[in-house]
Structure 1
Amino acid sequence: MAPKSQAQQLIEKADKKANSSGGWFSSSTAKFEEAGDLYQQAANAFKLEKLFREAGDAFAREAECREQCKEQNEAANAWWNAAKAYKRGFPELAIQALTQTIVHLTGTGRFRQAADREKEIAQIYLQETHDLRKACDSFERAGDWYAQEDATATANQCYKDAADLHAELEEYPQAIHRYEQVADQSLTSNLTKYSVKEYWLKSGLCALALGDTVTAKRNQTKYTTQDPGFPSTREAKFIKAITEAVEGGDPEAFTGAVFEFDQVTKLDNWKTNILLKIKRSIAQEGGPGTLT
């Protein structure tokens, strides 16, 4: 039989300590503190062996020991370490561990750190499990926590990511609300004012994806009152052109406007997908350009 690794020996030692009854002169707190230290050592040994599931499990056992000792900060850190190990191939377990981390962080008022962990959850949902609904919810929750901690720029990034996902889920009114929220906040700083035209463009595309040219035009007028320079931007001219094409049921004019815009500002996947949805709403397909 192959000899046990150092990590396995440490796990056995930790299990024995955690399950021991203790003695007359030892407290249960001390027992769990010692077991927690051993689980942590075992977890790090598993990481050296690149056994990330086992490392995550050991960190999780450490976290449970810290909880027995009422050590909130240490428990949060252990769950986070478990999540980082689980992220190497076990996304659902990583989400569970991060959720436990957040419980401890919010319980001790550390909402900025909780927002960081919630953002991690959103990214796992988005990139690993491809659950857009849950990713959207997590981005919004993280945004709310960042906002209440005055981390405005990071909050806006989360809200923007949530808006993009609302649009992909065809929840266009919610997307418009978030884009306008981020734009309003961005207008207050000279460093972020330049990005407002992008948010208003996306808001306009969402209105057109709804088939609501009235809202699209009304919103463009509202944006002009907020920034008188907006109508002269390529984004505003583009929205105006495709709105008129949708109203006129003119796919050739629509495709021509898209082609012209794409020649200068390359369309990303998000814009391409929503423009295809808008074009399909026009009665007749066809015409030259980038959309087919």
Structure 2
Amino acid sequence: MPSKSNAQTLLEKADKKASSSAGWFSSSSTKFEEAGDLYQQAANAFKLDKQFRDAGDAFAREAECREKCKEANEAANAWWNAAKAYKRGYPDLAVQALSQTITHLTTSGRFRQAADREKEIAHIYQHELNNIRNACESLERAGDWYSQEDATATANACYKDAADLHAELEEYPKAIQRYEQVADQSLMSALTKYSVKEYWLKACLCALAMKDSVTAKRNIQKYMSQDPTFASTRECKFVNAIIDAIQAEDQQAFTGCVVEYDQVTKLDNWKTTILLKVKHTIEGEPAIL
């Protein structure tokens, strides 16, 4: 029979301590404190052995012990350690552990850290669980918390990513609202003003994907009144050119504009995808393959 690993031995000691009855001279709080320490040691030993699921479970048990002792900060930390272990192959469990961490952080008013953890959840939803809707909600929540803590640049980055995902979900009005919100914020600083044309371009493309070139044109006028330099940008000229092609129902002109723009400013995946959707609005019904 193989000998028990160090991690397994520590885990058994922790379980024994947690389920023991408190003696005459020790409180149940002391018992859970000691059990929590043992679970932490077991978790670290499992990590050394690259047994990440077991490590996460042991950190989660530690967190529960810390909660029984009313040690909120230590509990938040233990849940976060659990999440980091679960991230190595168990994304669902990582999200659950991060949610527990966030509960402790928001209760104690640590919203900046809660926002950091919420952003991690968004990343897991988007890149590992392929749940765009949940990723979007987490990004907006993180953005709100950063905003409360005056971390405006970080909040804007979250809102911008959320806008991209709203567009992916074809929730174009929500996407436009977020792009405009980020643009308004960015106009306030000389450092971020240069990025405004990109947000306005994306907002216009969302309007065009909704088959609404009238709103797109009206929005361009609004953006030019907010920043007169917008009219001379490649982004503004590009949107105007594709609106003309759409209104003329001229697919060739549309494709020409896109190719020309791409030669100077490489189109990313987001823009390529949405421009294909816009092109379909000219073609009417997409061809049945």
**Aligned counterparts, 1:1-292, within 5 A:** 1-283=1-283
Q: Give, in whole Å, the separation in 1 of the partners of 2:18 and 2:212.
A: 63
Q: Evaluate the alpha carbon distance shift between residue 284 and residue 31 of structure 1 in structure 2; reply closer, same or farther with a 3 A threshold.
A: closer
- Aligned partner letter, 2:120: E
Given that 1:251 and 1:284 are in contact with CA atoms closer than 8 Å, whether structure 2 keeps it comes out as no
Partner-residue secondary structure (3-state), 1:190: coil
RMSD: 1.1
Q: Give, in whole Å, the separation in 1 of the partners of 2:97 and 2:247.
A: 50
- Aligned partner letter, 2:78: A
Q: Give, in whole Å, the separation in 2 of the partners of 1:114 and 1:244.
A: 46
Partner-residue secondary structure (3-state), 1:262: helix
Deviation string, structure 1 residues 86-106 (Cα, Å, up to 9, x no partner): 000000000000000000000
Q: Residue 244 of structure 1: CA displacement?
A: 1.2
Return 5+ residue gaps in structure 1 as ranges.
Answer: 286-292
Q: Residue 283 of structure 1: CA displacement?
A: 2.8
Q: Give, in whole Å, the separation in 2 of the partners of 1:270 and 1:52.
A: 35
Tell me the number of residue pairs that the alignment of Structure 1 and Structure 2 aligns: 286
Deviation string, structure 1 residues 89-133 (Cα, Å, up to 9, x no partner): 000000000000000000000000000000000000001001000
Q: Residue 248 of structure 1: CA displacement?
A: 1.4
- Aligned partner letter, 1:150: D
Q: Residue 279 of structure 1: CA displacement?
A: 0.2
Q: Residue 284 of structure 1: CA displacement?
A: 6.8
Q: Give, in whole Å, the separation in 2 of the partners of 1:173 and 1:202.
A: 12
Q: Give, in whole Å, the separation in 1 of the partners of 2:14 and 2:139.
A: 37
Q: Residue 245 of structure 1: CA displacement?
A: 1.1
Q: Give, in whole Å, the separation in 2 of the partners of 1:255 and 1:265.
A: 15
- Aligned partner letter, 2:191: L
Given that 1:250 and 1:284 are in contact with CA atoms closer than 8 Å, whether structure 2 keeps it comes out as no
Partner-residue secondary structure (3-state), 2:228: coil
Return 5+ residue gaps in structure 2 as ranges.
Answer: none
Which residue matches 1:290?
none
Partner-residue secondary structure (3-state), 1:281: helix
Partner-residue secondary structure (3-state), 2:188: coil
4+ aligned runs moved over 3 Å, structure 1: none
- Aligned partner letter, 1:261: Y
Given that 1:249 and 1:284 are in contact with CA atoms closer than 8 Å, whether structure 2 keeps it comes out as no
Q: Give, in whole Å, the separation in 1 of the partners of 2:166 and 2:192.
A: 22
Q: Residue 247 of structure 1: CA displacement?
A: 1.4
